[in-house]
Structure 1
Amino acid sequence: MQYIFTSESVSEGHPDKVCDQVSDAVLDEVLSKDPTGRVACECFATTGMIVVGGEITTTTYIDLPEVVRGVIRDIGYDRGEYRFEADSCAVINVINRQSPDIAQGVNTGGAGDQGMMFGYATAETDEYMPAALYYSHKLVKRLADIRKTDKILMPYLRPDAKAQVSVVYGDNGEVVRVDTIVVSTQHDPMENAQARIREDVIENVVKAVIPEHLITAETKYHVNPTGKFEIGGPHGDTGLTGRKIIVDTYGGRAPHGGGAFSGKDPTKVDRSAAYAARHLAKNIVAAGVARECTIQLAYAIGVAEPVSININLHGTSKVNERELEQFIMTHPDMSLTPAGIIARLHLQRAIYRPTAAYGHFGRHEFPWEHLDLRDVFAKNFA
């Protein structure tokens, strides 16, 4: 029986994503000079100001206002009329040091917190990502690329934007077509805005991103459905770090343990273990072991080894999932301790700011997306 599944994404200019990018830029600045620095950086952005808080323990100095303003400028908030602008917004620093109670457990190699993390992969796209989320990311990324590199094609674009894609799945779980596309993009004041933006989005964005065979006469479009979207960014809505965790991961297609990623150094298993779980799930699917894979990991604060691992192949494989779990837990190249994950994926580097917009997964440049374990799984289970 056919069914529809929907996911959304937001652009780098969305207020929550502004905060995610600032948090990860602060993390990168620390790690670039002090790879073992401890960072938990949170941001709050609103009209004319951004508050940067959290806990940082490092041997280096960072010029926080310069880092923050650089991110805001790169995103495109560089005009006073936005009411949130790189050179004039207030940058308020309320950062403290990491609690020694937490540090004593992490310093010996233990997890930085308790919790459960999930990794997921599906064979429905070449990137092993759910189609609805993958195309939503591509829509808002295309809007940003046009805004930044082509001042003629859609010269009215402003930084804030959202997209949502509804995908129809067939009887065998295959992607059949796109049912509905929703795009809302901030824009300059202009006459006949909705009609012009609708035409431009369909011609210059949708057709450049969504494969032609997925668009049919039944596909529905909602472009700036409120009619006007001039006020946006942190002036339109307050932004917070960690408030787009479903956009960051699998678009609701897989469970989420609740922990956000941005602003956290890799000793925080909220981030590093989620990356490790994705790495394993993607390699399992890429190896042909299954068409779909969900992995749950769980940790206790101060304890290095995960307290549990659970693998679900969703009925797409004949492999015994308990045997697969045991194989991973005992394989020397698949350590799931924080130290093992950090070493295997080379996580103590300044690589995080790019993750903070357009998804942490399904992008080949990140080490947790590499297919370096595919042959191991294929040899033993495919």
Structure 2
Amino acid sequence: MSRQSYIFTSESVSEGHPDKVCDRISDAILDAFLAEDPRARVACETFATTNRVVIGGEVGLTDQARLHTFMDRIPEIARACIKDIGYEQDKFHHATCEVTNLLHEQSAHIAQGVTGERGDEGAGDQGIMFGYATNETPDLMPAPIQYAHAILRRLAEVRKSGQEPLLRPDAKSQLSVRYEGGKPVGVSSIVLSTQHESEAQSSADIRAIVEPYIQEVLPEGWITADTQWWVNPTGTFVIGGPDGDAGLTGRKIIVDTYGGAAPHGGGAFSGKDPTKVDRSAAYAARYLAKNVVAAGMADRCLVQLSYAIGVAKPLSIYVDTFGTGEVDPAAIEIAIPKVMDLTPRGIRTHLDLNRPIYARTAAYGHFGRAPEADGGFSWEKADLAEALAKAV
């Protein structure tokens, strides 16, 4: 039997964190390519440091003759991301930082593997992907990561609206959640480090700014007199973003998923078009796990999918309900391919992934977000629950 009383910790980082700046630029470039051509192929990496952004990787359009002209837009896309995040520092400013574009045409050998010898579309790479859901929050996400995201999202809102003009873009949160009877009931400690305007501001000054918003987003009663607060514990945090620490696409994969509450296959999401199963199959696995829990078949569900490059169908499907299920996990494994085509093309079609919906995923988590009218976060729908329940 799994433990019922414990403390579990997860962290999040803001959109201004150096790695997240890079994720945002990579995904904005992906969106631009998909808006130009829904069949575009993109594997885009971004590196950022003091006054410099370097972008590299492989890209392709159906009409490759248009690629050269399209490349001229890359620096403009990067600068727009940096501006929206809010960086106007002397050593990292959207208008003055140097942007180097090293993107090039996709390898013909990789393209061949994805297309497949028989013309059926294969996976863009080998790999394993995990999806997870739990009924401990309304969004069927683990509480520590969901509320760590919520804190930083709220602080970004008040910073960008001008309500809290002394806050700056770079920030990290960490939440230690206390569980009793297997359910989250409170917070034992809160860690919040946020970039701010002036060296004259103390940790106490910053806590006075952020505490009301943290109280606002956490469930009532979770913060008590025993909760430990660590706000800017090292003191001054004025130099932030890529000027303070270099950033790179794909370095926050646990932040992007379940905060360590579930396994991760190892592949990053940002900058990859949905032919890459690192991204699309991870979304499909979350979609399936969420629908299992939404159907009432289990309180918790983990789904693993595995793929080989150039092979369309998954090599294996694994389900674990951690002893919380009303249905045998083996029966769920058999039911899943009956209700969803898990080939790369099938996933993209079912979840409508060939559209520019990815820049918004680059911060505050890829999961536990509300599905949007234009198809964003389609993998968060619970519209497969009934079909799954009937198929087992």
TM-score range relative to shorter protein: over 0.9
Question: Which residue is 2:182 aligned to?
Answer: 173
Report the aligned-residue RMSD: 1.1
User: Do the aligned partners of 1:289 and 1:377 also contact (CA within 8 Å) in 2?
Assistant: no
Count of matched residue positions in the alignment of Structure 1 and Structure 2: 373
TM-superposed CA distance for 1:192, in Å, is 4.2
Unaligned stretches of 5+ residues in structure 2:
372-376
Question: Which residue is 1:25 aligned to?
Answer: 28
Question: Which residue is 2:168 aligned to?
Answer: 158
CA distance in 2, matches of 1:192, 1:65: 35
Pick the aligned partner of 2:85 from 56, 66, 75: 75
User: Do the aligned partners of 2:335 and 2:391 also contact (CA within 8 Å) in 1?
Assistant: no
Pick the aligned partner of 2:340 from 315, 334, 337: 334
> What are the equivalent positions in structure 2 for 1:34-183 lying under 5 Å apart?
34-58=37-61, 59=63, 60=66, 61-62=70-71, 63-80=73-90, 83-107=91-115, 108=119, 109-151=121-163, 154-170=164-180, 172-183=181-192
Any idea what SS the aligned residue of 1:148 has? helix
Amino acid at match of 2:389: A
In the superposition, the TM-score normalised over structure 2's length comes to: 0.93
Q: After the TM superposition, which parts of structure 1 deviate over 3 Å for at least 4 consecutive aligned residues?
A: 378-381
Any idea what SS the aligned residue of 1:228 has? coil
In the superposition, the TM-score normalised over structure 1's length comes to: 0.96
CA distance in 1, matches of 2:326, 2:139: 23
TM-superposed CA distance for 1:201, in Å, is 1.4
Question: Which residue is 2:13 aligned to?
Answer: 10
CA distance in 1, matches of 2:172, 2:21: 13
Pick the aligned partner of 2:382 from 351, 371, 379: 371
CA distance in 2, matches of 1:192, 1:99: 51
Deviations along 1:13-63, one digit per CA (max 9) or x if unpaired, are 000000000000000000001000100000000000000000001134250
Amino acid at match of 1:199: A
Unaligned stretches of 5+ residues in structure 1:
none
Question: Which residue is 2:196 aligned to?
Answer: 187
CA distance in 1, matches of 2:302, 2:220: 30
CA distance in 1, matches of 2:390, 2:231: 48
Question: Which residue is 2:374 aligned to?
Answer: none
TM-superposed CA distance for 1:198, in Å, is 1.1
> What are the equivalent positions in structure 2 for 1:196-207 lying under 5 Å apart?
196-203=205-212, 205-207=213-215
TM-superposed CA distance for 1:214, in Å, is 1.2
Deviations along 1:309-358, one digit per CA (max 9) or x if unpaired, are 100001001311111101112x1x40110000000000000000000010
User: Do the aligned partners of 1:189 and 1:230 also contact (CA within 8 Å) in 2?
Assistant: yes
Pick the aligned partner of 1:217 from 222, 225, 231: 225
Give percent identity, aligned residues only: 58
Amino acid at match of 2:383: D
